[in-house]
Amino acid sequence: MFSNNTSSVCQTKIVSLNNNQKKYWVEIKLVDELNKPIAGISWYAENESTRCGHNKIYKGKSDKDGIISIKNLHKLELSLFLAAQEFADEMEKRQLRLSRYDESSTVKFYTDKNHIYHYAKIGELCNQAPVIENWNDDKLPFYHFPNGNKFDGYKISDQQLDKRHVIEVCPFRAWSLILHHIPEYSLVNAYNLAVMSDLAYLDEPDLLKFFDRNFQDLSTIPQLTKSTIMPYTVVNDVPFSERYYPPVFMDTRQAATPVGNTQLFYVENKEHIIVSWRGTWEVPDWLTDINYIPSICPKEIASEGKMHGGFLEAYNISKVSFEKNFKKLAKNFEKKKFFICGHSLGGALGLAFAAEMNIKNSNPLLYTYGMPRIFSAKAIQTMTGFVHYRHINDSDTITSVPPDADLDNWLYGKFGYLGNTFGFIWAGLVQLPLDKIGAISGDPFWHHGELVCFFKITQIVEWQECTIDNNPSSCRTLTYPLPIKVKLFLVPSIAKLENQQAHLNQEFFMKEHDINDIQRFFPPNTNPLLDSFTNPKNHSMSGMYVPYLNNELLEASWPELQLQRKLKRLEFIEQMEQNSHRHDNAGISPEELKRDKAFLNMQKLVSSTLNITKSIPGGENALIRFRSKAMEEYEPL
């Protein structure tokens, strides 16, 4: 017979323990979220008896089924500890279950009613803090170590002995954006990089919080709550050591020598680097936008041609202000996949950056949104070898400036400062109209990249009205627009895909239109001819571009879901059919019918861009998680 102190210092209430008293047992089964056993992990367990030296510490390794079996226990609370480093290393290899709700746990569902179920983070079971690669914070990761630096062991009360316990352990993982470094268009790329472009408008503290907390919180997928529509991201879980490092925010107003008003951030993990440039945001940005006097392109960007003067100045300021940051970035470009994005002015600066990095063989992939023109035709023609998808929201005004005229005319520079003004006036009043009719050739501003367009279709009914019967010269054509309009998501380059499924889709599409028609509707290096007039309200990133991409991704990933946009298209198709074979000599023109049918078919092709996402490990789960959270957003026409 021996005495055991029940306090942690063995100096208070004494409890007599008789060796002949009943002894207890406990079994603890360790499994991950996929109900796979966590085998071979070193463990030890303590209670008041072992802490006071009356019994040896219980220890061992979990068996092949993940079971820890402890016998000959007195009726005392038990604390279980797992060897921190080997446990953390093992849990980095395990993957998350699909749903992040505890109620959806299959482990919990299949746990025998006579057993006790637990859900735990690794920090609740570790005996100490493990070494975490590239972790420099004094505090441990908040989600996986809810008790911080306190390691008291996992408690099993004296009332829970003589039982089997099933502990479902959350893997030691973090979220990472799904991004595909491929030449083909990816809707997931477009959406995630749109969220990153929207994120560039946040201040530094919110930016840091988004990556340092949202991408480590496994209870839900990351959501940009500071945006107008609060979009969710499309993410996969990766080992915690492959998480995002803290993002680096750069603002030329806060540089060692404050100058200008250019902002961007970059963030990286083990696989990729994202550089996101902020767009037009404040008054100085608008001054940068309208200062489009052409300047000679730096050789590190293009071997010939001109560049928007205001954008060049903003770009150079950022490069000079943060020279060390850009040099540090450049060292990693060859090791990791490199993505660039930006909205508006940010898209233009992103293109300049991509062009320079491409010359340096960094293989950038660029997605832009509502980008104005930045380079002249001669410069654009030198910019080959990197992927760029340029999104425009129908008649977004910013995508049409500067005008695609030869702004580099003879008046610029001839009369000092006034020459810039004279040149600007000449370009707008004389050069632009003449260029439009093909009367003058020169070096106009051009767009770069493959076009992606949110295209609003307005159908027109037309008929002939004659004042004298059987006299064509007395007839005039009258028109009126039909009431139902629809906005489609058009990606002309999808027709070029070479994989088998896309090829079949291409054949289906080509029955309605040939490649020459696509080229005519979507000419390279400029904007398409639209059904609507220019509108600056179509420029908003969080109010226009992100909602359309959100809805397109939601529809493509969940074809069975009833969405207002799909119902609107059905109404539009019905209207088109009703007005294609009327008996009153009125109707939609054959050419317009042909175009609209082709565009509707192009809309159907967008879902094929998810094939690459579905083919990667965890890709299907990422899309399911996204669509379980996302909602259809309002799409202004």
CA–CA separation, 285 and 398 (whole Å): 13
Strand partners, 89: none
pLDDT tops 80 at residue 227: yes
- List of residues 6+ apart from 40 with CB closer than 8 A: 61, 62, 64, 90
Q: Which residue has the higher pLDDT, 142 or 404?
A: 142
- What pLDDT, on a 0 to 100 scale, did the predictor assign at position 530? 80
Residues of the chain with CATH 2.60.40.10: 2-171
Query: How large is the average pLDDT for residues 493-508?
Result: 53
Q: What are 325's two structure tokens?
A: 């940051």
**pLDDT tens string 321-347:** 999 999 988 888 878 999 999 999 999
The answer to whether 115 touches 163, Cβ cutoff 8 Å, is yes
Residue 4 has pLDDT above 50, yes or no: no
Residue 507 has pLDDT above 90, yes or no: no
Give CA separation, 553 vs 125, 262, 566, in Å: 39, 31, 13
d(C-alpha 307, C-alpha 313), whole Å: 10
Is the four-CA dihedral 188, 193, 194, 195 of positive or negative sign? positive
Confidence (pLDDT) at 426: 41
Angle at 476 between CA 470 and CA 482, to 5 degrees: 120
Which tens digit of pLDDT belongs to each residue from 241-253?
999 999 999 999 9
Q: Where is 590: in which H helix or E strand? A: helix 590-605
d(CA 48, CA 74): 9
Largest Cα–Cα distance in the chain? 124
The pLDDT value recorded for residue 637 is 83
Cα–Cα distance list, 54 to 13, 14, 45 (Å): 15, 13, 14
pLDDT, residue 504, reads 52
Contact assessment for residue 175 and residue 235, using Cβ atoms and an 8 Å cutoff: yes
pLDDT tens-digit readout, 434-461? 444 444 457 888 999 999 999 999 999 8
Average pLDDT over residues 67-80: 96
Q: Which residues of 58-67 are buried (b: 16+ CB within 10 A; e: fewer)?
A: beeebeeebb
Confidence tier at 12 by pLDDT (50, 70, 90): very low
When pLDDT is averaged across residues 565-575 and rounded to a whole number, the result is: 96
User: What are the pLDDT digits (tens) for 92-137?
Assistant: 999 999 999 888 899 999 999 999 999 999 999 999 999 999 999 9
According to the model, what pLDDT value does residue 441 have?
53
Q: Which are the contacts of 628, defined by CB distance < 8 A and separation ≥ 6? A: 99
- 623: closest CA among 122, 318, 123, 191? 191
Backbone angles phi, psi at 612, to 5 degrees: -65, -40
* Residue ranges of E strands in 352-503: 364-369, 375-376, 387-393, 445-446, 450-457, 460-466, 475-481, 486-490
Specify the pLDDT at position 430: 44
CATH code of domain 2-171: 2.60.40.10
Residue 397 has what DSSP assignment?
G
Say whether 265 sits in a helix, a strand or coil: strand
Handedness of CA 91, 92, 96, 101 (dihedral sign): positive
- Reported as a pLDDT band with limits 50, 70 and 90, residue 3 is very low
pLDDT (average), residues 623-630:
97
pLDDT at site 171: 98
* Span 226-245, average pLDDT: 96
CA-based radius of gyration for the chain: 32
Note the pLDDT of residue 330.
86
The DSSP H or E segment spanning 81 is: strand 78-82
pLDDT of the residue at 533: 81
| Residue 375: count of CB within 10 angstroms of its CB | 30
Beta bridge partners of 248: 266
- Predicted TM-score (pTM) of the model is 0.89
The pLDDT tens digits of the residues spanning 362-415 come to 999 999 999 999 999 999 999 999 999 999 999 898 998 887 655 444 333 333
Cα gap 274→179, rounded to integer Å:
10
DSSP letter at 37 equals B
Give CA–CA dist 452/374, Å, rounded: 18
Average pLDDT, the chain: 86
Among 276, 300, 452, which residue's Cα sits nearest to residue 362?
300
pLDDT tens for residues 277-292? 999 754 444 444 445 5
DSSP code string of 541-586: IIIIIHHHHHHHHHHHH-TTS--HHHHHHHHHHHHHHHTTS-SSS-
Report DSSP letters for 470-482, one per residue: T-GGGEEEEEEE-
Residue 557: closest CA among 599, 619, 511, 601? 619
38, 32 contact by CB (below 8 A) = yes
